[in-house]
């Protein structure tokens, strides 16, 4: 029985270390979302459509204006204004997908150390 424990023990140490890393990453993401939410709520540009888009970001971290239009059931100008408002707050940014990309994609910047 003792020999089996000695074989499993290093594995369990690795699992525990991985769990600690996952917890830290989760706390960092939740903290980032909370800070962005505060920034949005304090902004004069925070319309209901912008807030709806913000709440959709965890389910669609990469998107374009056409996808926002469909997700929010809004016109193209309204969807574009919502994305622009989040961009002005530094919550999303435009990222080109290469030379062949016609339409940029807004990507939620999440950086966890």
**pLDDT of 42 above 90:** yes
For 2-107, CATH gives 1.10.10.10
**pLDDT of 105 above 70:** no
Q: What average pLDDT score do residues 13-34 get? A: 86
pLDDT in tens, 45-84: 899 999 999 999 888 878 888 999 999 999 999 999 999 9
State the Cα–Cα distance between residues 102 and 66, nearest whole angstrom: 13
User: Longest C-alpha distance within the chain, in Å?
Assistant: 68
Helix 65-72 vs helix 76-88: angle between axes, to the nearest 10 degrees? Answer: 110
pLDDT of residue 69: 93
**pLDDT of 113 above 70:** no
Is residue 72 within 8 A of residue 52, CB to CB? The reply is: yes
Domain locations along the chain: 2-107
Is residue 105 within 8 A of residue 97, CB to CB? The reply is: yes
**pLDDT of 111 above 60:** no
Length of the chain: 113
Helix 48-56 vs helix 65-72: angle between axes, to the nearest 10 degrees? Answer: 110
């Amino acid at each position: 029985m003792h020999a089996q424990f000695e074989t499993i023990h290093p594995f369990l140490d690795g699992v525990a270390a991985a769990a600690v890393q996952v917890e830290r990453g989760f706390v960092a993401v939740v903290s980032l979302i909370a800070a962005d939410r505060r920034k949005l709520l304090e902004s004069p540009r925070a319309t209901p459509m912008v807030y709806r888009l913000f709440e959709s970001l965890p389910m669609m971290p990469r998107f374009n204006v056409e996808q926002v239009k469909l997700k929010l059931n809004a016109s193209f100008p309204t969807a574009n204004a919502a994305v622009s408002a989040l961009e002005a707050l530094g919550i999303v940014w435009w990222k080109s997908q290469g030379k062949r990309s016609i339409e940029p994609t807004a990507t939620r910047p999440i950086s966890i150390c």
